[in-house]
Amino acid sequence: MSSVALGGLFLAFLLVLLAIRIPIAIAMLLTGIGGYVSISGWDPLLNYLKTVAYARYTVYDLSVIPLFLLMGQFASRGGLATGLFRAAAAMVGHWRGGLAISAIGSCAAFGAVCGSSVATAATMGQVALPELRRYKYSNSLAVGCLAAGGTLGILIPPSVVLVIYAILAQQNISTLFMAAFVPGILAVIGYMIAIAIYVRLFPDSGPAQERSSWKQRLQAQQGVWPVLLIFLVVLGGIYGGWFTPTEAAAIGTVGTGFFAFTLGKMRLAELKEVLLGTGVTTAMIFMILLGADVMNAFLAISQLPNFIAESISGAGLPPFLVLAGILVLYLILGCVMDTMSMILLTIPIFFPVIMGLDFYGLDQTEKAIWFGILALMVVEIGMVTPPLGMNVYVIAGMARDIPMRDAFRGIVPFLISDVVRVVILVLFPSITLCLVRWLT
């Protein structure tokens, strides 16, 4: 059997392991080891394994992951989300659907200091869901807006998933953060428009609350400044060239921890839980990265990614048809896989394919950045699509009396907004690249 055929066979074996719920890190390790041995034997594999862990874990850029995770833990446990929601609700809560719009805005702001979709959904769900239900918002809209808003945690920089993509695709983390900013804002606007249309079609789904006085509005804004300050320092420092993403993450972590202790609900007793949660998540991600390295080494010697790229190029298919097929495949995978798994499994295969095609005359760097943002946009849709839809389950778990049917029905307007946004970004890559071109 040829090495390419073995590559395809073991890739199918990986999918079987995932289908029977083997953890993604173990599944990739088993696939990579089995495939490597089948092609090259045990001696080359053992020679590779003795250095791969050290080579992976001594990459300086990886230190940004635990720092951003710790920053998100401080923000989640420190009560910073409460002030964001109250400030937004005071400004627009008197609109029809205003509290749902406030939840979206709060998720976007919280995502700027969190970087995790599930953490954003869980934290904002604890703050906003009781208020949405108290003001008689429909179950569908309440769950839908918070589940969709949670995805902004990985769209609005900083984003842990985007860091992983940068490492896999060997791209600059700062540049990818810069490229994600405008599409992230576009996502926020699209969700708000979706809510505005939904509450006009179904007026009882999002009743307006009493208008706040200007004094109440100004008082409510006091809860915004800690998050705003952290956001400006972290991203302003990165884009201004004052410090690297890792240094920015360290500064943001210290600042978030300070505000969590002084202004929020953080106490020393909770610090252990925060550090443990960060450690567990970091270990999981690093183990997945090691599994991905072993599997990618196997794929490299099998020549499967090159074979796929050459086959597609040789088939003469229009580049946009290939891109559309990849994006649709992401949507399908998103129904059964989590975001991190999708990125780690698919980028080694899809990235060479995209790099070998021509889109609007983009150079290799711009193409890599544009595709990275498109992939990020599409995989986040998987966080709200059935049957997995992790964010939907997180929010629905906070209100167990809401049927899952109603929960997933509420996500439909936001899925429509997601699809429209992806189409716009495919047709107009300058939206993604405008800040990159302007600031670099």
Amino acid 187: pLDDT: 93
Place of tokens 């048809």: 321
- The count of other CB atoms within 10 Å of the CB of residue 296 is 18
- In terms of domains, do 42 and 151 share one? no
- In terms of domains, do 113 and 205 share one? yes
Range of the domain at 11: 1-58+288-302
Give the model confidence (pLDDT) of 302-361 as tens digits. Answer: 887 777 777 776 677 888 898 988 888 888 777 767 677 778 878 888 888 898 888 888
pLDDT tier at 123 (50, 70, 90 boundaries)? confident
Amino acid 421: pLDDT: 94
- pTM for the predicted model, two decimal places: 0.82
pLDDT at residue 52 tops 90: no
As a three-state string, the secondary structure of 297-327 is HHHHHHCHHHHHHHHHHHHCCCHHHHHHHHH
Q: Which of 218, 227, 240, 187 is nearest to 376 (CA)?
A: 187
Give the model confidence (pLDDT) of 152-168 as tens digits. Answer: 888 888 788 888 888 88
pLDDT at residue 109 tops 70: yes
pLDDT tier at 293 (50, 70, 90 boundaries)? confident
Give the model confidence (pLDDT) of 173-216 as tens digits. Answer: 888 988 998 999 999 999 999 999 999 998 888 887 778 777 77
- In terms of domains, do 22 and 149 share one? no
Side-chain half-sphere exposure of 308, counting CA atoms within 13 A:
20
- In terms of domains, do 358 and 392 share one? yes
Amino acid 153: pLDDT: 82
Amino acid 101: pLDDT: 92
- In terms of domains, do 219 and 292 share one? no
Residues contacting residue 389 through CB under 8 Å, at least 6 positions apart: 147, 382, 383, 408, 411
Q: Which of 417, 317, 334, 316 is nearest to 375 (CA)?
A: 334
- The count of other CB atoms within 10 Å of the CB of residue 223 is 21
Query: 145, 121 in Cβ contact below 8 A?
Result: no
What are all long-range contacts of 362-366, with beta carbons under 8 Å and residues at least 24 apart? 362/429, 362/433, 365/171, 366/429, 366/433, 366/436
Give the model confidence (pLDDT) of 214-269 as tens digits. Answer: 777 888 777 778 888 888 888 778 777 788 888 888 888 898 888 888 876 778 77
- In terms of domains, do 325 and 379 share one? yes
The count of domains in the chain is: 2
pLDDT averaged over every residue in the chain: 84
Phi, psi of 69 (to 5 degrees): -65, -40
Cis peptide, bond prior to residue 158, ω within 30 of zero: yes
> Within a domain: residue 282?
no
- In terms of domains, do 130 and 221 share one? yes
Who has greater pLDDT, 77 or 411?
411
Give the model confidence (pLDDT) of 371-391 as tens digits. Answer: 999 998 888 887 788 766 778
Phi, psi of 112 (to 5 degrees): -70, -15
Amino acid 104: pLDDT: 92
Amino acid 192: pLDDT: 94
- % of the chain with per-residue pLDDT over 90: 14
pLDDT at residue 427 tops 90: yes
Amino acid 417: pLDDT: 94
Amino acid 367: pLDDT: 94
pLDDT at residue 415 tops 70: yes
- The count of other CB atoms within 10 Å of the CB of residue 20 is 7
pLDDT at residue 424 tops 80: yes
- In terms of domains, do 176 and 325 share one? yes
Amino acid 118: pLDDT: 76
Q: Which helix (H) or strand (E) holds 393?
A: helix 390-396
Residue that is last in its domain, among 258, 278, 302: 302
pLDDT tier at 366 (50, 70, 90 boundaries)? very high
Side-chain half-sphere exposure of 370, counting CA atoms within 13 A:
26
Exposed (0-12), middle (13-18) or buried (19+): which is 353, by Cβ within 10 Å?
A: buried
Exposed (0-12), middle (13-18) or buried (19+): which is 60, by Cβ within 10 Å?
A: exposed
> Within a domain: residue 281?
no
Place of tokens 């409510």: 220
- In terms of domains, do 374 and 404 share one? yes
DSSP state of 191: H
